[in-house]
Each structure stands twice: as C-alpha cells, then as structure tokens.
C-alpha cells in the first residue's frame, strides 16, 4: 500500500509540474511583454529567398510617392520622393537587417515611434531601378499591392529619365500618386485579384504568414455541464475584402480552411458591403500548418508565437488539459488576459 501511495504521489507531483508549465506557456502566449525578446528572437539561420521577400512585402511592404513643396526652389518648386519600405515592430528588427542584406542597399529608420515600428526603406532612385524593380518584376506580388507597384515603377522610370525637372513631369507624378494606395478604388483592387490565376509558392506563403498570420488557441467553456473545455487551435490570416482572392488561393494551397464572414467571395458588391471590411482565413488543421512551418520557418516574433502554440498542441495531444487543477490554472489565466 505504501508503495502504491508513493507512486500515486509521484504521478500527482508530475501532473502539477506539467500544468505549471501549461500556465507559463499560456501566460507567455497572451502577454508578450514578459518575454526577453532581445535574446529569444535571434535568428542565426535566417535564410531569405526571393519569394519570401515578395511574401513579406505583400503583407508588410508599401510603395509611396511624396511630392514636397520647396517654396519655389529648384526648377519646379517641388521635390518628389519615392519610397519602398517594409515595416516591423522593434522586436523583429533583426529581420529588417536581413532584408537590407538581401537587397544590398537601403537603411533602417524609425517608422512610428508611438507604435514602436521600424522600417527598412529604399529611396535612392538608382537602387530602386537596379534592385527593387528587377526583384518585383521577376517575383511578382500576389495581392492588389501589385497595382501600386506598377504605378510606383512608372514613377521610378519617370524620375530616372529626369522628367520630374519639369512642371509637366511633376503633374504626371501627382496623377500617378492620386490613384495609388488608399486612393485606388475598391472595385479595381477586387477585380484585379480575381482576374488572374493566382499561383503561390511555399516561400511566398512563408513570408506572407510572417507578415499577416496569427496563431490562435481558443478555449470554449460555454457548456457549463462539461468539466473540461473544447480547445481549438488555428492559424488565422486576415486581409481586406478586396484581397479575398489571395485568401482563397492560400486555402487551396493548404487544401483546408474556411473563410469568415461568409459571403459570395467572387461578388464585388457583397464583398464591398460585407458586415466587416476584412475577411479571415481560418485553418484548424494544425498538423498541416506545423509540418509547413517546420519546413519553412518564420523569422519575426511570430516564430515565438508558433513555438508556444505548438507546445500547447503537444500538451493537448497527451490530454494534459483533462485535469481540474490544470484547467483552473488555464481559466484563471484566460480571465486575467481577456
């Protein structure tokens, strides 16, 4: 009997330690300010492929034209600036340094000090002509951002031909700028995405998830009669409704998932007037996602999200959540961070 009680005591102690581990993981998953980001987010094996660069650019990149009034100075009184940039929060600045190495040019600046956002940026026209344009001509953007790129490219060519030294050239740049980014019509972006057969490469998906993906762990306690929750794990990728076609392409790439909210995604009017202006792709087949990301790793802080998410999955696989003591810890953590 004593031997039995000793074994029972050891098992109970191991279970308590296991659920302390669960509590730490869930806490980190919801409270990233507690992480030692500087040491944990180093990526010595960061290997950026051209398609990864396009994927992260489709998610976090932008093409900008700015025309500054220089109060009558120069030949026209105006000075245009062209900018290609990729943004990341401070904790993922290492990735920006790797992107800078990839292009062999550009610089890293503060993008928004209030939100702690940094940017890798290229503004030199020779670098835009010789580095940026060849890259995106060969490794094409998949989202409607490609339309902004085409306009940006035309502006780069205009400036390389010195056309901005005339008022006519400045006005032409203004015309190009007036149709880009937030000024571009919803229907133009929507119909562009559906007008082509979108084929996507694994490295593009890798970069796009690094930019736009998030790892979700849902605990459903809605049924009060059940002692233990239903736990679901999913990868979520959101896009504006005009880019819903790219979510459909990613769904086909993984051959699983569903789009939410539900509407006729090929109907422009329904997309424009949907209950939300963004659509989310939810993929709950975590085995497929884990197999993919283990093969195509992430390089932003999302790598840490993924590792904790995967550890929670492994704990659920061994039914670690089916214990009242561990469940109480998880409920407590859930309530504290809602």
Structural domain contains residue 92: yes
Residues 249, 172: one domain? no
In this predicted model, what pLDDT tens digit does every residue of 105-158 receive, in sequence order?
Answer: 999 999 999 999 999 999 999 999 999 999 999 999 999 999 999 999 999 999
221: helix, coil or strand?
A: coil
Residue-wise pLDDT tens digits, 1-10: 554 455 445 5
Other C-beta atoms lying within 10 Å of the C-beta of residue 230: 11
- The answer to whether residues 324 and 210 belong to one domain is yes
Predicted model pTM: 0.84
Residues 109 and 178 both lie in one domain: yes
Residues 54 and 133 in one domain: yes
Across all residues in the chain, what is the average pLDDT?
85
Q: Domain of 101?
A: 50-184
In a domain, 103, yes or no: yes
* pLDDT digits 0-9 by tens, 292-333: 999 999 999 999 989 988 888 887 887 777 776 666 655 554
* Number of domains the chain is built from: 2
Residue 261: cis peptide before it, omega within 30 degrees of 0: yes
Q: What is the pLDDT of residue 40?
A: 42
Nearest to 148, CA basis, from 252, 12, 258, 243: 243
Last residue of a domain, one of 184, 217, 239: 184
Mean pLDDT of 243-272: 95
- Nearest CA to 218 out of 209, 227, 230 is that of 230
117 and 221 assigned to the same domain:
no
Is it the case that residue 210 has pLDDT exceeding 80? yes
DSSP H or E run through 31:
none
Q: Are residues 177 and 213 in the same domain?
A: no
pLDDT, tens digit, 9 for 90 and up, residues 51-105: 999 999 999 999 999 999 888 787 888 999 999 999 999 999 999 999 999 999 9
Among the candidates 184, 216, 247, a domain finishes at 184
Classify residue 32: in a domain, yes or no.
no
Same domain assignment for residues 119 and 159:
yes
Pair (143, 248) in one structural domain: no
Same domain, 305 and 239: yes
The CATH number given to whatever domain includes residue 212 is 3.10.28.10
In degrees and rounded to multiples of 5, residue 255 shows phi and psi of 60, 35
pLDDT, residue 284, reads: 96
**Whether 118 contacts 110, CB under 8 Å:** yes
Same domain (yes/no): 156, 246? no
Domain-embedded: residue 23:
no
Within a domain: 13: no
Whether residue 7 is contained in a domain is answered as no
172 falls within a domain: yes
149 to 100, 175, 289: CA distances (angstroms): 19, 15, 30
Let me know if residue 250 belongs to a domain.
Answer: yes
Same domain, 70 and 123: yes
Are both 275 and 228 inside the same structural domain? yes
**Of 28-42, 185-199, 242-256, 281-295, the least confident:** 28-42
């Amino acid at each position: 009997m004593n031997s039995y009680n000793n074994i029972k005591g050891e098992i109970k102690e191991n279970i308590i330690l296991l659920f302390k581990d669960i509590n730490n993981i869930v806490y980190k998953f919801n409270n990233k300010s507690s992480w030692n980001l500087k040491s944990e987010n180093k990526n010595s094996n960061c290997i950026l492929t051209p398609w990864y660069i396009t994927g992260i650019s489709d998610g976090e990149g932008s093409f900008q034209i700015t025309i500054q009034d220089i109060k009558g100075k120069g030949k026209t009184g105006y000075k245009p600036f062209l900018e290609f940039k990729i943004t990341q929060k401070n904790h993922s600045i290492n990735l920006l340094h790797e992107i800078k190495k990839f292009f062999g040019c550009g610089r890293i600046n503060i993008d928004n000090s209030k939100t702690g956002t940094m940017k890798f940026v290229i503004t030199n026209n020779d670098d835009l002509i010789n580095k940026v344009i060849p890259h995106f001509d060969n490794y094409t953007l998949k989202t409607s951002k490609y339309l902004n790129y085409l306009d940006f490219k035309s502006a780069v060519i205009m400036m390389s031909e010195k056309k901005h030294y005339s008022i006519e050239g400045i006005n032409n740049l203004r015309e190009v700028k007036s149709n880009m980014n937030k000024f571009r019509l919803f229907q133009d972006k929507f119909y562009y995405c559906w007008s082509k057969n979108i084929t996507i490469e694994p490295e593009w998906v890798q970069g796009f998830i690094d930019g736009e993906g998030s790892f979700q762990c849902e605990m459903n306690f809605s049924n009060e009669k059940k002692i233990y929750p239903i736990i679901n794990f999913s990868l979520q990728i959101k896009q504006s409704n005009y880019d819903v076609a790219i979510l459909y392409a990613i769904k086909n790439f993984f051959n699983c998932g569903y789009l939410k909210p539900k509407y006729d995604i090929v109907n422009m009017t329904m997309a424009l007037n949907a209950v939300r202006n963004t659509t989310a792709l939810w993929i709950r087949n975590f085995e497929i996602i884990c197999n993919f990301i283990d093969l195509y790793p992430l390089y932003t802080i999302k790598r840490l999200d993924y590792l904790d998410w995967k550890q929670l999955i492994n704990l659920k696989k061994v039914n670690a959540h089916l214990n009242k003591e561990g469940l109480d810890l998880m409920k407590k953590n859930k309530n504290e961070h809602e």
